Copies of this chain bind each other. A is one copy, B any other.
Amino acid sequence: MKEQIQKTFEALFALEDIREVLREALPTGPDPAEEQAIREGVARVRAVLDDLEAGTGSPQVTKIAGSLDIRNREEAYINIQPIQAAGRLTLEARKALIAYGDGYSTCDACRKPFRLDQITKPPIAAFHEDLARFLNMDVVRVVPGARRGFQAVASTLVKPGDPVIVSALAHYTEFLAVEGAGGVVKEVSVSKENLVTPDAVAAKIEDVRRETGRTPALAMIDHVDYQFGNVHDVAGIAKVAHQYDVPFLLNGAYTVGTMPVDGRAIGADFVVGSGHKSMASPAPSGVLAATAEWAPRVFRTTAMVGDLTRRKFGVKEVEMLGCTLMGANLIAMMASFPAVRERTLRWDEEVKKSNHFIDGLLAIEGTKVLSEYPRKHTLTKVDTTGSFDTVAATHKRRGFFLSDELSGRGIAGEFAGATRTWKLNTFGLSWKKIRYLTEAFQEIAAKYELNVRTA
């Protein structure tokens, strides 16, 4: 298959060569030399297609711009990398990237009032409405990454010295957003099951009020945390936060775009999602949604007036820095959206596949799962200290033996060399791949004489 993959890339690149000739041609059409170049280009694509079909041919192109390998991780491997799974592009997103890669490609028909979210061609304005409905929130903006959502909200609500509630499992970007605004993170403890509970949030808010005399300016809690992939009771947490008059930001980096997220039902004041983590979009991309109550604050428009020219840019939003996610990333996000929306409805099946694989891994004696179990998400932390790590202890490649074995079976994305605690993500893998993956791990176990219980 390696040959077919390589030849597919070569054919795509050879077509881009032809496209470049067309870009150089005058609107009146290619001149004779350009026509000749196109004919030669077509002949090259045809030759590549012959190889593609036959599964033959040695690589003719190995680098892009002289320094970049052709990345084929999603074609040549089953990728279980914890942060990459749900950011894999859809077919339509890849086509969109081809057509909209150029810089300001979204801005061809930008008209008054000159703001990205109001452009109707391509249908960016309608996409914003769709996204708001999808999250059941009132107002959304696209942003270059979830972290920009945290930053915008923290910058709006958090004043120097303000305490902000996060959890002991919070992502580092929440720390940075609070720090940037001059606030101080206050971590909620987790239960022994590594869950953030409403009671623990209430207790922390009480503690903070007692210690600092201030009510937290904001609570940011991960719907599903990055460390265990556990699903936390965010609706319960939102309720508690509101009892103390603390606005609640839902960090949906691992949920918006993978599982159903109903911001209103959860009671979130803000919902943040990640395009490149969970919405099948290129990085950086993301979404920030707010309720009608909070939107005017986080999406406030500029009030600055030039002292000399009296210029005002009244429609531009301060925290968004005006337009946000112009170009290829937004268009790819839009192209993926119909598939992304639909896949959240099949979340139960993703959870089933996750459990199928984890059960297969647990059948290898000595293996433990550190995440909640049965799994409710596709991101899982496992502990193979009692299984694969016992092999690593005496293997000349140490922990890399497992990477070697996986790689040899066309599996990528484990943390190379790690055989104790590590994370993986099965999101989006077909049943066929889930079974192959499960068998591969059991096969490796058996090869190194670990006991594998049969189902």
Residue A99 at the B interface, CB < 8 A?
yes
Are the CB atoms of A187 and B88 closer together than 8 Å? no
Residue A157 at the B interface, CB < 8 A?
no
CB-based nearest B residue for A336: B65
The segment from A234-242, A325-333, A374-382 that touches chain B is A325-333
Are the CB atoms of A74 and B102 closer together than 8 Å? yes
State the Cβ distance, A168 to closest chain B Cβ, in Å.
5
| A23: contacting residue among B19, B74, B144, B324, CB under 8 A | B74
Residues from chain B with a CB closer than 8 A to the CB of A188 are 308
Q: In whole angstroms, how far apart are the Cα atoms of A19 and B15 in the complex?
A: 14
Residue A45 at the B interface, CB < 8 A?
yes
**A173-188 residues at the B interface, CB under 8 angstroms:** 173, 175-180, 184-188
Residues from chain B with a CB closer than 8 A to the CB of A411 are 27
Q: Which of A83, A177, A276, A302 has the most CB of B within 10 A?
A: A276
Residues from chain B with a CB closer than 8 A to the CB of A16 are 12, 91, 94-95, 98
Residue A89 at the B interface, CB < 8 A?
yes
Residues from chain B with a CB closer than 8 A to the CB of A74 are 23, 102
State the Cβ distance, A136 to closest chain B Cβ, in Å.
22
Residues from chain B with a CB closer than 8 A to the CB of A103 are 83-84, 86-89, 275-277, 280-283
Are the CB atoms of A284 and B325 closer together than 8 Å? yes
State the Cβ distance, A126 to closest chain B Cβ, in Å.
8
Residue A71 at the B interface, CB < 8 A?
yes
Residue A393 at the B interface, CB < 8 A?
no
State the Cβ distance, A180 to closest chain B Cβ, in Å.
5
Residues from chain B with a CB closer than 8 A to the CB of A455 are none
Residue A224 at the B interface, CB < 8 A?
no
Given contacts A65-B335, A145-B144, contact A29 B45 (CB under 8 A): no
Are the CB atoms of A75 and B107 closer together than 8 Å? no
Are the CB atoms of B75 and A96 closer together than 8 Å? no
State the Cβ distance, A166 to closest chain B Cβ, in Å.
8
| A283: contacting residue among B105, B155, B173, B177, CB under 8 A | B105
State the Cβ distance, A354 to closest chain B Cβ, in Å.
19
Q: In whole angstroms, how far apart are the Cα atoms of A186 and B336 in the complex?
A: 44
Are the CB atoms of B1 and A11 closer together than 8 Å? no
Given contacts A84-B107, A89-B101, contact A22 B45 (CB under 8 A): no
Q: In whole angstroms, how far apart are the Cα atoms of A410 and B307 in the complex?
A: 43
**A87-145 residues at the B interface, CB under 8 angstroms:** 87-89, 91-108, 121-123, 144-145
Residue A389 at the B interface, CB < 8 A?
no
Residues from chain B with a CB closer than 8 A to the CB of A177 are 321
Given contacts A8-B22, A76-B27, A313-B172, contact A99 B70 (CB under 8 A): yes
Q: In whole angstroms, how far apart are the Cα atoms of A100 and B84 in the complex?
A: 12
Are the CB atoms of B87 and A13 closer together than 8 Å? no
| A15: contacting residue among B15, B144, B184, CB under 8 A | B15
Are the CB atoms of A176 and B94 closer together than 8 Å? no
**A183-227 residues at the B interface, CB under 8 angstroms:** 184-189
| A68: contacting residue among B180, B280, B335, CB under 8 A | B335
Given contacts A1-B25, A18-B52, A98-B13, contact A172 B316 (CB under 8 A): yes
Q: Which of A46, A67, A83 has the most CB of B within 10 A?
A: A67
Residues from chain B with a CB closer than 8 A to the CB of A265 are none
Are the CB atoms of A168 and B309 closer together than 8 Å? yes
**A1-40 interface code vs B (CB 8 A; 1 in, 0 out):** 1001100110111011111101111111110000000110
State the Cβ distance, A195 to closest chain B Cβ, in Å.
15
**A141-153 interface code vs B (CB 8 A; 1 in, 0 out):** 0001101101100
Are the CB atoms of A84 and B68 closer together than 8 Å? no
Are the CB atoms of B64 and A335 closer together than 8 Å? yes
Q: A26-B78, A67-B122, A177-B321 are known; give 12 further A-B pairs, CB within 8 A.
A: A8-B19, A12-B19, A13-B95, A17-B91, A20-B91, A81-B107, A81-B108, A83-B103, A88-B103, A168-B306, A176-B318, A284-B327
